[in-house]
Structure 1
Amino acid sequence: MKNTQEIFIRDPYIVTNRDKGLYYMFGSTDPNVWQGRCEGFDYYTSRNLREWDGPFPAFKPEEFFWSHENFWAPEVHFYQGRWHMFASFKAPGVARGTQILVSDAPDKPFTPWSDGPVTPSKDECLDGTLFVDEQGKPWMVYCHEWTQIKNGTMCAIELSQDLRTALGKPVLLFDAASCSQVKRNPEENYVTDGPCLRRNRKGELLMLWSSYGQQGYFVATARAPGGQVTGPWVHDSELLVSHDAGHPMLFESLDGQLMMALHQNSAQPHDYALFYPVEEDGKGKIRLKGKAL
């Protein structure tokens, strides 16, 4: 077993399995996550979010898979009876994009489901996440990357019911510079990163996301008061986490506590996962409830 700080991982994503009393942790796990040939995605299992078994293979590309670099941010969602992995990939001469993979169980190998990325083919995109609206329509919320457009944006695009293709054109939700806490990153650009959506008790749609500010990598909250993924979106004035951590996602612990997973950022290249207990306050905001595990 390894403790959390011993596991290199970025963009951690947790699946809670109450029947087995287990957590599955997915993420960007390849030692060549920034450059060079990638091996795939691994996952780990735990009963307490502190000690982990693994790694176990989640996705290993076949020889002729279109990408062999920058395997980033796998998310695993249960939808229509199967488990779907949303993950970002890159190849020379091909825009970075989020492709969808599928498996019959979170602890079985994932295989390609969509025909390549479902993000727009000419746009540099990453960090796609699944959101199903109140009418049952599946959407992918994703980032149009600052590396291409300087001021990164958050976008949404409707998906087909089987999650194999995108429908119509993407909808612009907001750009990074519209959030007052965002500052230019070291490359003089504005970053959008890691969206995670959750509806609060008031019916508003919340989005946790990351960028860079005065103290570095942070977690912010945007909200759609009307509850629609297409917005309009407004930014909360307070940051959820002000420095040194980002790419958030929310999950429930085995005992029902709402938790936030993210990765610690200042230990590069030895990033590891953090888990914070959080709660929704009386104003419908997500707040930290205690220290990180």
Structure 2
Amino acid sequence: MAAKVERIKLGSQGLEVSAQGMSEACYGPPKPEQDMIALIHHAIHTGITFFDTSDVYGPFTNEILLGKAFKGGVREKVELATKFGGVRSVDGKWECRGDPAYVREACEASLKRLDIDSIDLYYQHRVDTRVPIEVTIGELKKLVEEGKIKYIGLSEASASTIRRAHAVHPITAVQLEWSLWSRDVEEEIIPTCRELGIGIVAYSPLGRGFFSSGPKIVENLPNDDFRKYLPRFQTENMEHNKTIFERVNDIATKKGCTPSQLALAWVHHQGKDVCPIPGTTKIENFNENIGALSVKLTPDEMAELEPFASEDSVKGDRYMPWNSNLEGF
């Protein structure tokens, strides 16, 4: 039987969420709408109340899906986070916008697609380096005052940007990639968040499926699955990275859990201020993720994971090159 999903305080402004959330960013072709709504309702019944989406997922279609899933009194049972800022440039690459007019336009559009009056947690998906963060947060602060959003978040922001943003209006959560093979955030960003009382939301805690399937994940990725083009999933890097999975798998076998449960439990053990948001499209995989809450790691086991889970043990960048106005890429 799955462990009870506890509630945690995300940040220091009053937001409470389930200790594990659920990302609506899924890879590959869209799944049948009714299947996804059934999965969302199953997650809520299990105790998951924190749902993460973005206007770029689809784009736009995922927000519409959640709007449908949260009808009939469901909205009052959940905490909903979405994001703004990602737009397609003329050359087909992603860029970011953080100017006040766009911030307001994007928020109004998300509210309409989600069919709600207020967004619980609204993130800037990526920081637009052309616009001072103080200007972007200033507009978000107005949206808080108007009741259109309740809490402000940042995604993939640097420590200095987090500090500058927090000085304008309290930042409730920072979303970042954190897993056994993505640990660069531990040097500056995590300590900054903790110093300022900002919650941490860990996306891709299973290494984009790597800790679920191991190196075989790359064998059947369709062309519209962007993981196929990520540096870490390329053959020359995966040959090295597969040893990380093998070692995690060995420990998981001794522990009596799956590699993905072990990897997810490792994120949970980073602190009560951390909420991982694994994504899935299948109920059986969701149930496996919930099972990670029952996996308790001893200090010795955490120490055993440390040598091959360090930042420099992974080959390949997290992303392909992005347009230059996104912070951190």
Length-normalised TM-score, structure 2: 0.29
Length-normalised TM-score, structure 1: 0.32
**Higher RCO structure, 1 or 2 (CA under 8 Å, sep 6+):** 2
Which of the pair has more CA radius of gyration? 2
